[in-house]
């Protein structure tokens, strides 16, 4: 758990725990105050804060407080209750509807929000994808941005963005029976269709990163028919693949924990652990691909990643190092849907 019982968030967590333990029965304010070692006024203040997060709590005269229901939407408290991470998720901000979590995280980072801050929205009206595209982000998905402040030179940040893909892929594989496939740099495919995407944005000077925003979008519980027509052939969701819904708070915590793990590894020992994990996961390496890089068409075999996470493509004119672009499996090559599990 990120917060100790002495912090404000610690009191809130302990209060929620005590109300949940009441299993719908009344728990008196005095009893709660004694247990949490705070005043009744403090309990009242935290009850109000829980209500603002969407917890339905009835106060009954002379009896105390009764937890009637928890919100369906994700709350900071629900995340912090189960998250085991050292940096990521230190602060969690949850919103019902935003234009883009990247924009809000950007403003928070500029104002000095600590590394590891998470900004999440139930729904985005202006979700942004890579290469200037828009990103469909309705209710039912996980749309969030994480503020990182890596002490790296800007040109060494590509592995920091690849780790988001690894974290999401491992979290999905760990929680469900699905087999995600990584498409360089940062897409996650399920049965050949895109289920998640990452957007890494850096604010830096020539030799120092001010902050890196790691934006992650996962199509969790979105019905197949709910995707707009232009996405029906290319997008999917976890629930559409599994035929059942997936708990979003649990998945979010799993992603944040994997992200925390790889971020600590990156800071301690450089890019190697992240790159090794990326290469271990099912991915496009070894396949014939095509992509547009610096306005030029590059075709060849996606042979490897270099030490900085760039894609090495061997074509007719030798090896090409690619740092950005939209990779496609080359025309005529078998599609990912022809493969079940394993490296593709
Ligand atoms: C892509 O696939 O092109 C990247 C998609 C990134 C989407 C996420 S959702 C949370 C965060 N906020 C945004 O506006 N974009 C990222």
Higher pLDDT, 71 or 214: 214
Rounded Cα gap, residues 136 and 226, in angstroms = 11
> What's the 196 CA to ligand 1 centre distance in angstroms?
9
Going by the DSSP 8-state scheme, the letter that residue 224 receives in this structure is G
Rounded Cα gap, residues 343 and 283, in angstroms = 6
Structure tokens at 13: 């967590």
What is the residue with the minimal CA distance to atom 9 of ligand 1?
217
Decide: 140 in ligand 1 pocket, CB within 6 A. no
Name the β-bridge partners of 315.
318
Helix runs in 190-306, H state only: 238-242, 248-269, 272-280
Decide: 64 in ligand 1 pocket, CB within 6 A. no
Rounded Cα gap, residues 55 and 75, in angstroms = 9
> What's the 9 CA to ligand 1 centre distance in angstroms?
28
Q: Could you give the C-alpha distances from 55 to 2, 58, 75, 100, 114, in angstroms and in order?
A: 21, 10, 9, 25, 27
Q: What is the pLDDT of residue 180?
A: 96
Cα torsion angle, 144, 147, 153, 156, sign:
negative
Per-residue pLDDT reduced to its tens digit, 44-66:
888 888 888 778 888 877 778 88
> What's the 207 CA to ligand 1 centre distance in angstroms?
26
> What's the 159 CA to ligand 1 centre distance in angstroms?
18
Burial of residue 31 (number of CB atoms within 10 Å: 0-12, 13-18, 19+) = middle
Of 79-83, 218-222, 291-295, minimum mean pLDDT range: 291-295
Per-residue pLDDT reduced to its tens digit, 235-289:
999 999 999 999 999 999 999 999 999 999 999 888 999 999 999 999 989 999 9
Q: What is the pLDDT of residue 331?
A: 57
* 3-state SS assignment for residue 268: helix
């Amino acid at each position: 758990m990120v917060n100790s019982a002495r912090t404000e968030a610690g009191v809130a967590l302990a209060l929620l725990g005590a109300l949940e333990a009441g299993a719908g029965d009344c728990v008196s304010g005095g009893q709660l105050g004694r247990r949490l070692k705070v005043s009744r006024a403090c309990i009242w203040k935290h009850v109000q804060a829980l209500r603002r997060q969407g917890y339905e709590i009835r106060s009954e005269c002379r009896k105390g407080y009764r937890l009637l229901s928890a919100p369906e939407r994700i709350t900071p408290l629900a995340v912090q209750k189960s998250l085991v991470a050292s940096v990521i998720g230190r602060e969690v901000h949850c919103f019902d509807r935003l234009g883009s979590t990247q924009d809000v995280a950007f403003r928070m980072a500029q104002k000095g929000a600590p590394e590891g801050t998470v900004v999440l929205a139930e729904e985005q009206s202006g979700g942004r994808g890579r290469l200037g595209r828009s990103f469909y982000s309705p209710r039912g998905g996980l749309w969030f941005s994480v503020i990182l402040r890596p002490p790296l030179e800007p040109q060494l940040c590509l592995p920091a963005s690849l780790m988001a893909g690894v974290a999401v892929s491992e979290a999905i594989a760990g929680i469900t029976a699905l087999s995600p496939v990584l498409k360089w740099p940062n897409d996650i495919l399920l049965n050949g269709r895109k289920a998640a995407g990452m957007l890494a944005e850096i604010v830096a000077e020539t030799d120092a990163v001010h902050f890196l925003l790691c934006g992650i979008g996962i199509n969790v519980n979105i019905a197949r028919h709910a995707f707009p027509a232009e996405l029906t052939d290319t997008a999917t969701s976890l629930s559409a693949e599994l035929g059942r819904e997936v708990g979003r708070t649990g998945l979010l915590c799993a992603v944040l924990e994997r992200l925390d793990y790889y971020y600590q590894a990156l800071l301690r020992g450089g890019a190697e652990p992240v790159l090794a994990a990326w290469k271990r996961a099912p991915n496009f390496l070894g396949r014939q691909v095509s992509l547009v890089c610096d306005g030029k068409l590059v075709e060849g075999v996606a042979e490897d990643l270099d030490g900085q996470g760039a894609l090495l493509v061997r074509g007719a004119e030798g090896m090409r190092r690619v740092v950005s672009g939209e990779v496609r499996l080359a025309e005529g090559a078998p599609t990912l849907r022809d493969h079940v599990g394993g490296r593709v």
